[in-house]
Structure 1
Amino acid sequence: MKSIKLGIIGCGIAATELHWPVLQKLRDKFQITAICNNTEPKAKEFSELVGGVPYVLDYRELLQNPDVEAIIIALPIYLNNQVTKDVLSAGKHVFVEKPLAANIEEARDLLEFGQPFPQVKMVGENWYFHPVFHRVKELIAEGRIGDPYAIFWDIFQRVTLDSKYAQTKWRIEQKHRGGFISDGGIHNIAALRLMFGRITAGNAFSKSINPAIGEVDTFSLQFETKNRVHGVLNIFRSPNGVSKNQLLVLGKQGSIAVEANKRIFVKNEQGTDLEETFEEDTSYRSEFEDFYQAIRNGKEVVSSFSKAYEDLHVLLTALDSANQFHQLGPQD
């Protein structure tokens, strides 16, 4: 099968550090034929990185290029809605970086707008392809820990002002709902739904510990899945003196612990039953291979607009309803 002629809109961190390293390995499937960035120095730099392809500063010019059949959108989240609509209207297949949109309303609008278009419509949620979370789902299905009943996922990872992500103005100004919580936390929601099914209910609290990185940097969600598995998702972006990324699944006959999205431990009363380490994250490659198969063979994409809408709806609904506490103790 012939390679796909690919255009890229947005030449920032996602394009240079996440997409390009994988696309280099998939030259038989993708050929970058044009790119766009609204500032010329960055456009020129990325053009040189990927082999000197033509670049433009206005994405509408790229949409008119007959040498482009599919487009990656790797822009600030608040731009996703309009640019994705324009890409679809131009008749191009689209791969838009997660989350789908800046808020629930724009995500719903984009979901409805895209339905009549026959092109492939995919969201870049690579955690739907993450080998570790697929392995956890497999272990649960095999009955290795019995019926799961509780989940605890703690992400305590400090974002400082010298972080490359904090250097992006649109993240600090939070032109999308949820700032660093939704930007990264959407991955966790997708992974939870992959492993345990739909999240149907919950309540949350949120705080701003360090206003310099946005309006919210601390989030804790207590939730229930459709299978009545209960869980707690903690995403803390301003912890001091602690760093942690651990997923713990409790089953009636054992437990699964995932450390740093790389190491899996299955334990029971007899001790450690299984220990596996995943040295390589193949999720980015897998999502682009899925995009290719959808375009060339008509395969249904895994990370669809509808899945991305549900992910965002769960996370932003929890944020919007956070801190609505009920009194537990007696009144004074």
Structure 2
Amino acid sequence: MTRNPIGARYLEDRMVYNVAVIGAGNWSKNHLLGWRAQKDAKITWVVRSNEERAKARAEEWGVANYTADYKKVFADPDVHIVDLVLPHDLHAKLAIEALEAGKHVVLEKPLAENIEDAQRLADAAAASKLKVMVAENWNYGTFVSRAKKLLEAGAIGRPYMIRGALDLDIRYAFKGVAWRHQSERMGGGVLIDAGTHAISVMRHLMGEITEVSAQIDNYDFPDLGSMEDTALVLTRFASGAMGLLSATAVATKVRNSTSFMIMGEKGAIEFDTHDRSFFTTIDKKRSEEFTLEPSRGLVEQMTHFLSAIREDTTPLTSPMEQMGSMRTILAAYESARTGRTVKTEEIRAK
């Protein structure tokens, strides 16, 4: 067996990839869940901007190496993958540096906080032989995968409308996190944050979005300043189908919900990833899918990424693919600002 020149361990006949998690804050625990489920991956570095916090997280996770200097990780020849769980404005910068250092990259959504940085990263990833995946975990989860298969099989006929509703109270996630209160680092409010997931799902199921009309406002989250806590987005797809997304970060419901409904000529598909419900309606007969094991795709996305590396394929949510989500979100902001319908092709890097 030929061993990898950069010192990877092997499990039977498969290489075990060493992973460095950069930005090990609260959300990184979800990435830990994904990596620990992989037999051919191991977290070997934890990076945080504060050395003591990096040490504490490394001890919590049982990881030997920690640092506050991410460049140490990029210089380590035994690191194969870097996982960036960072503020939006650092995504493109560090992902490009990681590629230049010869590392595969997983990065949190969104692609970047503006179209210029997003395009730079998409171009760099496309030009590289290394793999880059945006962690749009919903696209890899049970419900979205099942809906995609049903649509491809023609179960509900030609789909003509999709509706998504993100009824969330996520103010807790912003407490004590300074960058989440800075528009220049976030790029926007609930739409570019949680809404990115929903837009990605809608595109995955229905195809590319070509036109956007939107309204946004801040009703009950003054800490966000000029950024929105609530958004309504109307979309037109290349197929001619329509879409509607409502998203709020200040929901007053008993519990959060993230629901989608796809309407077709012969029936409908409905699911809610929080309620863990999945229904299909064919010829006006509704049935619940009891056989599904609900997941948010946290494990499946990492499995998919490792497969893309081994098989030399492009990840489903590559940076170039996710440019469609960036254009849609930024078109929504432009529509809200100008009061007009905006074509996504108008959103281009200068």
* Shorter-chain TM-score above 0.5: yes
Aligned residues: 322
Answer yes or no: is the 8 Å Cα contact 1:122–1:301 preserved in 2. yes
AA matched with 2:19: L
Match of 2:192 in 1: 182
Matches of 2:282 and 2:83, distance apart in 1: 45
Matches of 1:239 and 1:277, distance apart in 2: 30
Matches of 2:188 and 2:181, distance apart in 1: 11
AA matched with 1:170: W
Structure 2 gaps, min length 5:
1-13, 341-350
Instruction: Please state how far the C-alpha of 1:185 moved relative to its aligned partner.
Output: 0.8
Report SS of the residue matched to 2:129. coil
Match of 1:216 in 2: 228
Match of 1:34 among 45, 60, 65: 45
Match of 1:144 in 2: 155
Answer yes or no: is the 8 Å Cα contact 1:32–1:53 preserved in 2. no
Q: Structure 2 matches for 1:20-169, cutoff 5 A?
A: 20-26=32-38, 28-160=39-171, 163-169=172-178
Q: Which is worse superposed, 269-278 or 79-88? A: 269-278
Match of 1:235 in 2: 247
TM-score for the superposition, normalised by structure 2: 0.85
Matches of 1:109 and 1:125, distance apart in 2: 19
Per-residue deviation, residues 107-147 of structure 1 (Å, max 9, x unmatched) = 01222233332211221111221221121122233333332
Instruction: Please state how far the C-alpha of 1:283 moved relative to its aligned partner.
Output: 1.2
Q: Structure 2 matches for 1:271-282, cutoff 5 A?
A: 271-276=285-290, 278-281=292-295
AA matched with 1:249: I
TM-score for the superposition, normalised by structure 1: 0.89
Matches of 1:185 and 1:158, distance apart in 2: 13
AA matched with 1:228: G
Matches of 1:286 and 1:260, distance apart in 2: 15
Matches of 1:220 and 1:286, distance apart in 2: 30
Answer yes or no: is the 8 Å Cα contact 1:166–1:172 preserved in 2. no
Per-residue deviation, residues 179-222 of structure 1 (Å, max 9, x unmatched) = 23211111111111111111111211111112223421111111
Report SS of the residue matched to 1:115. helix
Instruction: Please state how far the C-alpha of 1:275 moved relative to its aligned partner.
Output: 3.5
Match of 1:289 in 2: 303
Answer yes or no: is the 8 Å Cα contact 2:28–2:85 preserved in 1. yes
Match of 1:200 in 2: 210
Instruction: Please state how far the C-alpha of 1:64 moved relative to its aligned partner.
Output: 0.9
Residues 259 and 286 of structure 1, relative CA distance in 2, 3 Å threshold:
closer
Residues 41 and 180 of structure 1, relative CA distance in 2, 3 Å threshold:
farther
Does residue 19 in structure 1 map to residue 31 in structure 2? yes
Calculate the aligned-residue CA RMSD, in Å: 2.1
Quick one: percent identity of the two aligned structures?
A: 27
Structure 1 gaps, min length 5:
327-332
Matches of 1:65 and 1:277, distance apart in 2: 44
Per-residue deviation, residues 224-256 of structure 1 (Å, max 9, x unmatched) = 111111121111222445754332222222222
AA matched with 2:198: N
AA matched with 1:11: A
Match of 2:269 in 1: 256
AA matched with 1:173: Q
Report SS of the residue matched to 2:191. helix
Matches of 2:54 and 2:117, distance apart in 1: 28
